Amino acid sequence: MNIEFSGQTVIVTGAGHGFGRAIAQAFAARGARVYACDVNEAGLTETAAGASGPHAVQTARVDVSDRAAVHALVERAAAETGRVDVVVNNAGGVLGQVGRPLEEISESDWRSIFAVNVDGAFNVAQAAAPHMKRQRSGRIVNISSGAGLGISLTGIQAYASAKAAQIGLTRQLAHELGEWGVTVNNVAPGFVRSNPTTERQWESYGEEGQRKLVQNIALRRLGTPDDIAHAVLFFASEQAGWISGQVLSVDGGK
């Protein structure tokens, strides 16, 4: 299967490290014009510098919970290339939070995780939809988590809830946008050591906890950011043209 994206415009959020970096670089290597955004400007610079392909990765500092900033980025991409073919809603995470008892969770802690994981995905999809409808084609790929299908391994209530909500949004938008040839799918990664937060989580398990985590994976290994990027590439490809509203667990087998 030869997957290429020459002539296509791809927007990737949360591209300053981890999954987002691997996804942005994978699209760039396959010929796409990539617009990468994050709040981490230094990380974006590294993402762009490490990319290969016929087009330089364009970067922008964007907080995806800021609706106006998101719409500005999408309009910029459309104005400069004439198209918006793929959006990957990867921005998210736990924002430095750790598991705590329910009664200790503040309103701001709860809402901040929803803002980036759910509102951000909605904002990007909303901005991209008019362009995709006009083209009568497009791909929206959301990045959730195994926490959205089960529980948060670190006990973060808002994270598990937000990722479950994002999966619900995926299914709803698939039905709304399907008649214009737009597919909407979701990749649910298992545990991957991909950024400073997951590194801290890995270390917190200790040697015995790490061993148990890996033993509970059918393939007996942790995944990599490239494993997640490959699933996104498939959902964004022509080969996945009759797949929509689906959640693909990329977790090594559970």
Residues belonging to the chain? 254
248 forms bridges with which residues in the sheet?
Answer: 187
Catalytic residue of the set 35, 159, 191, 235: 159
Known active-site residue 35: no
Q: Where are the beta strands (DSSP E) in 144-246?
A: 182-189
Query: Which residues lie closer than 8 Å to 34 by C-beta, 6 or more apart?
Result: 10, 11, 12, 24, 27, 28, 51, 55, 57, 58
d(CA 239, CA 47): 27
d(CA 223, CA 168): 25
What's the start-to-end Cα distance of the chain, in Å? 26
d(CA 81, CA 8): 9
Residue listed under structure tokens 């995926």: 170
Please answer whether residues 199 and 153 qualify as being in contact, where contact means their C-beta atoms are separated by less than 8 angstroms: no
Q: Is 144 helix (H, G, I), strand (E, B) or coil?
A: coil
The catalytic residues are 159
